[in-house]
Amino acid sequence: MILALALLGMAAPPMAVIDETKTVREEAPPHGAIGMSTAYRISDAAPPPRAMEFRRRVLHLGAAVGEHPIDHDEVYYVLSGEGEVVSDGERATLRPGMAAYLYKGAVVGIWQRGDEPLSLIIAYPNPAD
């Protein structure tokens, strides 16, 4: 898709400035619908062509993004709260300022832990067209 746009002479815009409050919605987390979350699908507001996803998700108490296989690398970066991340059965605690770099082919997930919501950034590449 990006190659097709380039061949047609359609250049990417110089930038997209996105207000996360315009991207927010309350929904069950993906991959198992465990609990509830606040989703900020920030990169969805960027015009094409775009090559990555950049999202913020706040997992409410007891919520989780259930275990699922990934076909690309992903990064989970914690802004606030505490979480437990898993990758191929290996578990680790994440706190504010910590990131988990997760590798293509792994089975991954993350759970909210403690008594405050877990706010994190999730970033990964879009599939190549």
Which tens digits make up the pLDDT trace of 38-72?
A: 999 999 999 988 999 999 999 999 999 999 999 99
Q: How far apart are CA 98 and CA 129, in angstroms?
A: 32
List the CATH code of the domain at 2-125: 2.60.120.10
Nearest to 122 by CA among 11, 16, 26, 108: 108
pTM value is: 0.88
Query: Given this model, what pLDDT does residue 127 score?
Result: 81
Q: What DSSP character marks residue 41?
A: -
Neighbours of 51 (CB within 10 A): 14
